[in-house]
Amino acid sequence: MLRLSQRHLNLLETCPPKFKQLYISQDNLVPNPENEERQVWGSQFHLLMQQRELGLPLDSILTTEKELAASLEALIKEVPELSISPAQANRAAEHYRTLGVNDYLLSVIYDLVITQEDRAQILDWKTYLKPREQERLARDWQTRLYLYVLAETSDYAPEQISMTYWFVKLPKKPQSYTFTYSSQQHQQTKVDLQELLNNLDNWLHNYNEFPCLVTCKAKCDYAQELSQLNSESNGDRLEEKIQAIPEVVI
């Protein structure tokens, strides 16, 4: 079974040719040092939150990483759920779940899931400074897939599930977006997910048919580059240009 995460779904929906390049052909792009630095900080913060949930000592980290310590302290002040005791709710950090759909295995990793008898809360730590538009985040496959998988793999009704993003990096005060869920949203996600996976089925059976989408051609730098590349005849030049195309930020 082909394993798919929310990143795969976002890219598949946005730019099928780039999905093919990165995940089917596995042509890696040149790393961006600035992005790598942000990812390292984000990974450190997620590890810190996981250690906190496990009750492991944090002194050695907090005394040397002042920025991480300040972000953690600010987040704890703003998030009441972080003070819920194990006696009041079940808590799971870096919680991994999978859901099989057709020939695909959908996988999610929840930063923190808090479950009580009548509700389940998903908390996700975002380590970039500015929240994206809330409407765009609602359409993002992370939001949709995380809510969908939890509803499909638990006894909670969609209306009992919510997801909150916390934007944690200082100097801004931690901010949040919360998304509730409904049976109607759940059914729509099921329909949209099936359509996306059906497209992937068709494209995999026709290996060279990962098309640029009409909806993104006008604004997709990658689609414009492909158009230029297809008009050239030098194979070496094609490969050189493909490797130079920057990754689309979802």
- Domain membership of residue 97 (yes or no) is yes
Name the nearest CA neighbour of 177 among 229, 220, 219, 136: 136
pTM of the predicted protein model? 0.81
pLDDT value, residue 235: 37
* DSSP assignment letter at 170: T
Interatomic CA distance for residues 4 and 23, integer angstroms: 10
Three-state DSSP class for residue 163: strand
Residue 71 lies in a domain: yes
| pLDDT value for 153 | 98
Q: What is the CATH number of the domain that holds 122?
A: 3.90.320.10
Rounded CA gap, 44 and 56, in Å? Answer: 15
List per-block mean pLDDT (blocks of 10 residues) for the chain, which spans 250 residues.
92 88 73 68 90 86 85 91 82 95 95 95 88 86 98 98 92 90 98 95 82 65 49 38 39
Asked if residue 131 has a cis previous peptide bond (ω within 30° of 0), the answer is no
Residue 48 placed within a domain: yes
Nearest-angstrom CA–CA distance, 80 and 124: 14
Please report whether residue 231 resides in a domain: no
Token pair of 54 as six digits: 């496990």
| Residue span of the structural domain in which 73 resides | 31-211
Q: 28 is written with which tokens? A: 């890696």
Q: Residue 35 domain-assigned?
A: yes
What is the predicted pLDDT for the residue at 217? 54
Give the residue ranges of DSSP H helices in 94-244.
Answer: 134-139, 141-152, 183-205, 214-217, 221-230, 235-244
In angstroms, what is the C-alpha Rg of the chain?
20
**Domain count along the chain:** 1
Q: Is residue 138 part of a domain?
A: yes
pLDDT of 63: 82
**Residue 73 domain flag:** yes
Q: Is residue 197 part of a domain?
A: yes
